[in-house]
Amino acid sequence: MVELSPEAAARRVAELSAQIRRHNQLYYTLSQPEISDAQYDALLAELVDLEARFPRLALADSPSRQVGAPPQTSFAQVTHFRPMQSLESKADPALVEDFLRRLEQAGYTGELLLQPKIDGLSVELVYDQGLLRLGSTRGDGFTGEDITPNLRTIAAIPGHLPGAPAGPVVVRGEVYMERAGFEELNRGLLEKGQEPFANPRNAAAGSLRQLDPRVTATRPLNFFVFELVNAPELGLTSDHQALARLGQWGFRVGVDHLHRGRGRDFLTGLHAGYQQRRDSLVFEIDGVVIKVDDLAARQEMGERSRSPRWAIAWKFPPRQEITTLRAVVAQVGRTGKITPVALLDPVDVGGVTVSRATLHNYGEVARLDARVGDLVRVERAGDVIPRVAAVAQPHEPRQPLPGPPQRCPVCAAPVVAEGAYHRCANSIACPAQIKGALKHYTSRLAMDIEGLGEKRIDQLMGRGLLSDLPSLYRLHQRREDLQALEGWGELSADNVLASIEASKGKPLPRFLLALGIPNVGEATARDLARRFVDFEQLSQAGPHELAEVSGVGPVVAASIRAFFERPETLAASRELARQVKPAPLPQAAAAQSGPLAGLTLVFTGTLAKLSRPQAEELARGLGGKASASVSQKTDLVVAGANPGSKADKARSLGVRVISEDEFLRLTAGKDRSPTEGPPGPLFQRGE
């Protein structure tokens, strides 16, 4: 174990937290993962280890304590019946050994339940009086997106449960797309000139997040039910009983993929069997889920902050094949990052023909010591992204590969080194970056401009119709030129122009995300939009003001400030804001004069009526700032059960400590606002 100073550990925790949050956004929200599950698990494991060794660095909002990513702003937010946790997951058999040891220590000798782990999108369904009332995505585990109208379009999700009790019935499962339906959907998108989905999971996620349920209804979605959340309240004692009851109510339980048994041989045999026949199944799976069947035993075993102790996901190793490396080329991304890409003899990896694979950065090229002509082992990381994993057989003679380019391969601008990566410095005029920026700006989760996929953006840039982001809003002046393009016509041109026009007035968080500010994902864009009423206010904010925003911090604040300090970037952003006129969030304006405006709050102990994220969200919505530590700048500490040292420190500093009920009365307006008249008893410091 490497010895670290507290300062070095703090830097590494901040770095890991930023990386994990980014990858959460890419996977859960954008459905565009960049690393494999194994690489993600390694980052998370390192963070958990550092927080255990340096407990003071384990902040309340650490990604080690959270699941998924915050919900996007296009849908209403709903609080889950109970938190939707993730499962501890690895491809390493040691995970199963640890799980069996945990069961032995808990004295559990009952049956285990094993099901295939379908690679889709987890949702929660709430029925009342037997009718589907609410359906939501996982979101951040506590709060999800209300996608009820979209879920109603899926035939495998019953709208009515005959014979169900009158009270709530809470169901969870995976929305997925079968292989055949996925391939048919992509063929249709390609015929329309639209960009296809990378894999069935992305297709399912993108289909569920359509703002128009009529679009979702055209997608071949299915549903795999895996949990009756409130089974104990309904008088059921085991998971298999609960699943049988769901089958009686009309869900497709998939009894062929529901296995009960005991012991190591039972688990290893089924895992190996599913791995061997995974490509013959009608749906994609990436492992198996193993659960304690007895519900009372689950209750006794309890949960961690992210995952239950009574279940695991035993993943499959990435699919791998061997092929020949023919060349390494430099690829320039949206942010100017230059990535080495391996050109390969085409090879089938798990049903996908791979001829290009990422090498991540030039440090990875050196580590692999791969050369042209080598036989290399290629895998689909997370069964999605092709990458070169290792050299299988060197080729002689060994000819060294070129190092990182000194000039951008697209625009010939200088290349600058940034840590392990290299970047083209020509952010405003590099065609590769402009193309990437346009693709990002028009994407579904940004400004959602339909009909402008990668091929059409290439076409429009090649004809001089698009030169930068603001040029999108000048396309209406070139309507006849658009109609004359190959594959367009009047209808296509009018549809694209109408979609561009419809992007005006979109919410400020989506606009900020669309700008492509480095390190600003969907969650950070939303936090910024809550703090700053409009774009201009944000663009002028100083680094300290930015760093005070929840979820930002000094590193991201510096990145935002650097973005707006480049004159050409600021000018283009202002022009876009002038055209779009992004709508501020209502709560941002309200927060300016809310009852907690300007106050810094710390929550400690176990809250009875709110989860910690819900309480912090409530405080921010009323103008307050939620902090993880108590200091002289703290105005108020809200203490639940077993508050610990934070409450003691607050009292020693003269900071007022209140109960959860007092906090709720304050937020409901039943206590004196700190802005009305002389300070009330809750805000009198130093008494």
DSSP string, 15-52: HHHHHHHHHHIIIIIS----S-HHHHHHHHHHHHHHHH
Q: Which of 626, 645, 632 is nearest to 686 (CA)?
A: 632
Q: What is the pLDDT of residue 73?
A: 44
What residues act catalytically? 117
CATH 3.40.50.10190 fits 593-667, yes or no: yes
Contact 518, 563 (CB under 8 A): yes
Task: Give the distance from CA 104 to its chain's centroid.
Answer: 35
Predicted confidence (pLDDT) at residue 128 exceeds the cutoff of 60:
yes
8-state DSSP, 247: H
Predicted confidence (pLDDT) at residue 517 exceeds the cutoff of 60:
yes
Residue type, 602: V
**Rounded mean pLDDT, 313-320:** 89
Q: What is the pLDDT of residue 175?
A: 96
- The CATH topology of domain 6-65 is Helix Hairpins (1.10.287)
Beta bridge partners of 637: 602, 657
Instruction: Report the range of poorest mean pLDDT among 33-47, 230-244, 275-289, 449-463.
Output: 33-47
Instruction: For the chain, give every residue range classified as CATH 3.30.470.30.
Output: 77-315
Strands 112-118 and 421-424: unpaired
Query: Class for domain 508-590, per CATH?
Result: mainly alpha
Q: What is the pLDDT of residue 435?
A: 92
The alpha carbon dihedral of 624, 625, 627, 631 has a sign of negative
Q: Note if the pTM is more than 0.85.
A: no
Nearby residues of 665 by Cβ (< 8 Å), 6 or more positions away:
671
Hey, which bits of 595-671 come out as E strands? 600-604, 625-627, 636-639, 656-659
Instruction: For the chain, give every residue range classified as CATH 2.40.50.140.
Output: 320-418
How far is the C-alpha of 285 from the C-alpha of 266, rounded, in Å? Answer: 19
Instruction: For the chain, give every residue range classified as CATH 1.10.150.20.
Output: 431-502, 508-590
Q: What is the pLDDT of residue 274?
A: 95
- Per the model's pLDDT, the better-predicted residue between 682 and 629 turns out to be 629
Predicted confidence (pLDDT) at residue 577 exceeds the cutoff of 70:
yes
Buried residues in 320-339 as b, exposed as e (16+ CB within 10 A): ebebbbeebebebbbbbbbb
Contact 394, 403 (CB under 8 A): no
Q: What is the CATH number of domain 431-502?
A: 1.10.150.20
Q: What is the pLDDT of residue 495?
A: 92
Tens digits of residue pLDDT in 397-440: 888 888 899 999 999 989 988 778 898 888 777 899 999 999 99
Q: What is the pLDDT of residue 669?
A: 61
Peptide bond between residue 397 and the one before it cis (omega within 30 degrees of 0): yes
Q: Which of 509, 501, 431 is nearest to 73 (CA)?
A: 509
In CATH, what is the architecture of 77-315?
A: 2-Layer Sandwich (3.30)
The per-residue pLDDT of the chain, averaged, comes to 85
Tens digits of residue pLDDT in 201-212: 888 988 888 877
Instruction: For the chain, give every residue range classified as CATH 3.40.50.10190.
Output: 593-667
How far is the C-alpha of 518 from the C-alpha of 163, rounded, in Å? Answer: 53
**Rounded mean pLDDT, 439-453:** 89
Predicted confidence (pLDDT) at residue 333 exceeds the cutoff of 90:
no
Predicted confidence (pLDDT) at residue 214 exceeds the cutoff of 90:
no
Hey, which bits of 29-164 come out as E strands? 77-79, 88-90, 112-118, 121-128, 131-137, 143-145
Q: Which of 31, 258, 27, 250 is nearest to 158 (CA)?
A: 250
Following CA atoms 594, 596, 597, 602 in sequence, which dihedral angle do they give, to the nearest 10 degrees? -150
8-state DSSP, 280: G
Q: Which of 24, 25, 138, 28 is nearest to 81 (CA)?
A: 138
Strands 656-659 and 636-639: parallel
Q: What is the pLDDT of residue 275?
A: 93
Contact 139, 70 (CB under 8 A): yes
How far is the C-alpha of 354 from the C-alpha of 350, rounded, in Å? Answer: 10
How far is the C-alpha of 196 from the C-alpha of 442, rounded, in Å? Answer: 15
In CATH, what is the architecture of 320-418?
A: Beta Barrel (2.40)
Alpha-carbon distances of 398 from 373, 401, 645, rounded to whole Å: 9, 9, 61
pLDDT band at residue 687 using 50, 70 and 90 as cut-offs = very low
Percent with pLDDT over 90 in the chain: 45
**Rounded mean pLDDT, 513-534:** 86
How far is the C-alpha of 114 from the C-alpha of 271, rounded, in Å? Answer: 9
Task: Give the distance from CA 612 to its chain's centroid.
Answer: 20
Q: What is the pLDDT of residue 679?
A: 33
Nearby residues of 311 by Cβ (< 8 Å), 6 or more positions away:
87, 88, 289, 290, 291, 292
Predicted confidence (pLDDT) at residue 172 exceeds the cutoff of 70:
yes
* DSSP helix/strand/coil, 358: strand
How far is the C-alpha of 178 from the C-alpha of 185, rounded, in Å? Answer: 11
Q: What is the pLDDT of residue 314?
A: 95
The token duo for 85 is: 């946790």
Alpha-carbon distances of 668 from 237, 371, 537, 604, rounded to whole Å: 40, 66, 29, 20
